[in-house]
Amino acid sequence: MRARPARPWLALALAAATLLTGGAPRAAEDAASPAVTAAFDRPLRMPVDGVARSALRDTFEATRAAGAHEALDIAAPRGTPVHAVDDGRIVKLFHSVPGGITVYQFDPGARFAYYYAHLQRYADDLREGATVHAGDVIGYVGTTGNAPPDAPHLHFAIFRLGPERQWWRGTAINPYPILRDAAP
């Protein structure tokens, strides 16, 4: 039997595919650390109505098939409106294998990005480049992408953007303590 040649390009291709398919950005540092969470200084609105803050469960460090989860799953009935958590701008509407129907939103200073995934659909008038305000409906809870079809939820992530302001890349920040401790 002949040995197969090494394929260093394969690892690079898989890493690129993960980024290009809309997977939540991966952290370059310990995103659950208090220092990283403390760097986030914006008050946020709960993205899904009808979910008590006390009902949130920290899924940030949960292990998934693709690696670290680095997001908060918020269970809600299919079709429940998903709201912008902050003022800002819609920078990317994206369909991906893991996230399904997704939205990337930057905060007003383009320091942070919010990632909303597994949506059933977008809000009717949502467009890339649109300005949104906290509370605006941007989509509806669903099970697109790799979400189990019987478990509708919003996959919500926050990441700090680098100087390049790339919607697909940043340092993940655990949204759980931010949403749990935010004022109602």
State pLDDT tens for residues 117-144: 999 999 999 999 999 999 999 999 999 9
- Average pLDDT for residues 105-117, to the nearest whole number? 95
pLDDT at 145 over 60: yes
Judged by DSSP in three states, 42 sits in coil
Range of the domain at 121: 29-181
Any domain includes 68: yes
pLDDT grade for 18, boundaries at 50, 70 and 90: very low
Chain segment 27-81, per-residue pLDDT in tens: 444 444 554 555 677 789 999 989 888 888 887 877 666 667 688 899 999 999 9
Q: Where are the beta strands (DSSP E) in 32-184?
A: 63-64, 67-68, 72-75, 81-83, 88-96, 100-106, 112-122, 131-132, 137-141, 153-161, 170-173
d(CA 181, CA 102) in angstroms, rounded, equals 25
Any domain includes 8: no
Higher-pLDDT residue of 54, 147:
147
User: What confidence score (pLDDT) does residue 183 get?
Assistant: 58
User: What confidence score (pLDDT) does residue 165 get?
Assistant: 86
Any domain includes 162: yes
When divided into structural domains, the chain yields a total of 1
User: What confidence score (pLDDT) does residue 22 get?
Assistant: 42
Any domain includes 161: yes
Higher-pLDDT residue of 181, 156:
156
Report which of 159, 163, 161 is spatially closest to residue 173, judged by C-alpha positions: 159
* pTM for the model: 0.78
Any domain includes 105: yes
Any domain includes 12: no
Any domain includes 69: yes
User: CA torsion angle for 97, 116, 109, 165 (degrees, to 10)?
Assistant: -10
d(CA 20, CA 44) in angstroms, rounded, equals 28
Any domain includes 10: no
Instruction: Give me the CATH number covering residue 128.
Output: 2.70.70.10
User: What confidence score (pLDDT) does residue 41 get?
Assistant: 77
